[in-house]
């Protein structure tokens, strides 16, 4: 796992924009990248978007979708996980293979690891296809075996909730997972 943060005013208006992040050490495969705004300088709704994920880095930006909001410099934090199943959690990424907006069918994550109860799941987008931009949102499906997610978008320029295919990354962990201890027990 590698984590970091950066300050930027770069904004994704639809699919554009971004700041390149280089990993200190290359991953074996494309990692699952989770990301979030840590600051709140702009009082409008914003999210984050990562794209162009590779073994050596990725691109990240503030996501304003089609709202036209002007951004200020914000701090974006991120964590990249080598994909795989570990003792207490799994990290993965996958391409949805079909349109995943709220007016479409949700993407269903089938957990690779067995869970006795629904795991704590964090899902973030790892692509930026089409011109609308999006943020990840749970669809309501959340069991010990599966989790459903949509690519949700704003309704500023269009009123629909259709969205194209996207890459998603997730970490699913047993409740109360200690990641330090879990990383020492890697497969």
Q: Which pLDDT score is estimated for 187? A: 40
Closest CA to 6 of 29, 25, 27, 22: 22
One domain for residues 93 and 67: no
Span 87-128, pLDDT tens digits = 889 999 987 876 666 667 788 999 998 899 999 999 998 887
Q: How far apart are CA 78 and CA 65, in angstroms?
A: 20
- Residues 59 and 98 both lie in one domain: no
Cα torsion angle, 47, 92, 105, 140, sign: negative
| Whether residues 101 and 64 fall in one domain | no
What pLDDT is stored for residue 155 in this prediction? 57
Query: Is the domain of 89 the same as that of 168?
Result: yes
């Amino acid at each position: 796992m590698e984590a970091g943060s950066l300050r930027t005013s770069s904004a994704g208006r639809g699919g554009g924009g971004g700041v390149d992040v280089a990993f200190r050490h290359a991953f074996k495969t494309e990692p699952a990248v989770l990301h979030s705004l840590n600051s709140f300088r702009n009082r409008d709704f914003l999210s984050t978007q990562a794209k162009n994920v590779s073994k050596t880095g990725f691109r990240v930006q503030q996501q304003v979708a089609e709202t036209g909001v002007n951004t200020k410099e914000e701090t974006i934090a991120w964590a990249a996980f080598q994909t795989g199943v570990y003792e207490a959690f799994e990290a993965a990424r996958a391409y949805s293979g079909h349109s995943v907006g709220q007016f479409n069918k949700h993407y269903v994550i089938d957990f690779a690891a067995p869970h006795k109860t629904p795991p704590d799941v964090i899902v973030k987008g790892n692509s930026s296809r089409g011109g609308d931009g999006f943020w990840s949102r749970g669809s309501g499906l959340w069991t010990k075996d599966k989790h459903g997610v949509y690519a949700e978008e704003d309704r500023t320029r269009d009123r629909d909730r259709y969205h194209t295919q996207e890459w998603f990354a997730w970490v699913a962990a047993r409740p109360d997972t200690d990641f330090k201890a879990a990383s020492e027990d890697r497969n």
